[in-house]
Amino acid sequence: MQRRKFIKKASLISIGLGIANKAYSKNYKKTNSLYNNITPLVIATWDVKNATKKAWKIIQNNQSSLDAVEQGCMIEEANENGQSVGKGGLPDRNGNVTLDACIMNSKGDCGSVVFLKNIKHAISLARKVMEDTPHVMLAGIGAEEFAYSIGFKKENLLTKASKKTWENWKKTSKYKPVINIENHDTIGMLAIDNNGNISGGCTTSGLAYKMSGRVGDSPIIGSGLYVDNEIGGAVATGLGEEVVKTVGSFLIVELMRQGHSPQKACEIAISRIVTKSDYKNFQVGYIALNKQGDTGCYSIQKGFSMTLCQSNNNVNIKSDSYTT
Ligand code: GLY
């Protein structure tokens, strides 16, 4: 490109960024407590202190951030009281629990499983896809068969409680995303280990009462999760369709690459969604961290939170939101 054209293009990009800044700054509250600048650390979507505690223990044991996020996510997948992740997750319209998950390591490798039935630890299977296959993503029966072939156990994921909730829903069969479903939606986790390496994981049973075969953002690398070990990582929760449309997690990492803090990057990514859609009826939340250990979280609606485990403190932090 000729020099003059290049300069013109660069100025337009700057103006564009200025507009984006304006859109989010009216709601931007500086949350200094989120700027800790200390590693190692673990962050996760929602109030999942047991999960972050587990991940922290792994890191204290000098294991990798990859082990930490896998084992942290497994805690929620095994928690039958959580109706949005793993065993006990709410089913699709036909009463089938189907899971989506992905994982990404500090080398940029990733693995993902979608529309997975009968296997509780989708996050571990995603790791196996990454490490033991030439592929990034396995779906449905193929993912399930792969799981059995390497020793995963078949399990009924529909608990009595979730079956009852589904049966009540069937009386009206009204399909509508529920904002902050039980204050606990997709679990996404990011960790920096003692070597400064970043990994991330994301696991969900997806939208309750979704159409059979529906896949959300959580197993889509770049949408539900993205990690770049040079820059940082981001992970999403909430209505996956909206996250996919804006490739939210990749966007946040790229914004951090351009120099934005994790907090500002999350806010810009949310502003992308609210300027494009009727945001009043759904929730999306992001969390992010950068290589230095700064963190951020932001959501469209009130009620989102992030759990942060750092220097042995395991705390839940209320997120700022676009709507107040
Ligand atoms: N964020 C989870 C989903 O939409 O499936």
DSSP 83-124: TTSSTT----TTS---EEEEEE-TTS-EEEEEEE-S-S-HHH
Closest of 176, 163, 29 to residue 95, by C-alpha: 163
What was the pLDDT predicted at 4? 42
Q: Which atom of ligand 1 is nearest to the CA of 204?
A: 2
**Concatenated DSSP letters of 8-34:** HHHHHHHHHHHHHHHHHHTT----GGG
Distance CA 296, CA 320 (A): 10
**Candidates 45, 52, 98, 186; catalytic one:** 186
The residues facing 316 across adjacent strands are 307
Tens digit of each residue's pLDDT (9 = 90 or more) over 255-273: 999 999 999 999 999 999 9
Query: Dihedral sign, CA of 255, 259, 264, 266?
Result: positive
Annotated domain spans of the chain: 2-321
Among 239, 273, 286, 287, say which to mutate for ligand 1: greatest number of ligand atoms within 8 Å of CB. 239
What was the pLDDT predicted at 319? 95
Q: Is 207 in the pocket of ligand 1 (CB under 6 A)?
A: yes
Task: Burial-class residue 249 by CB neighbours within 10 Å (0-12, 13-18, 19+).
Answer: buried
Distance CA 320, CA 35 (A): 14
Distance CA 34, CA 215 (A): 32
Kindly report the pTM of this predicted structure.
0.89
Spacing, Cα 26 to ligand 1 middle (Å): 28
Distance CA 74, CA 85 (A): 10
Q: Which residues neighbour 151 within 8 Å (Cβ) at sequence distance 6 or greater?
A: none
Which of the residues in the chain have pLDDT under 70? 1-36, 175-184
What was the pLDDT predicted at 175? 67
Spacing, Cα 143 to ligand 1 middle (Å): 19
Among 204, 210, 247, say which to mutate for ligand 1: greatest number of ligand atoms within 8 Å of CB. 204
Alpha helices in the chain (DSSP H): 3-25, 49-60, 65-78, 122-132, 140-149, 160-170, 240-246, 248-257, 262-274
Q: Is 84 in the pocket of ligand 1 (CB under 6 A)?
A: no
**Pairing verdict, β 41-45 and 187-192:** antiparallel
Q: Which atom of ligand 1 is nearest to the CA of 224?
A: 1
Q: Is 45 in the pocket of ligand 1 (CB under 6 A)?
A: no
**Topology of the domain comprising 2-321:** Glutamine Phosphoribosylpyrophosphate, subunit 1, domain 1 (3.60.20)
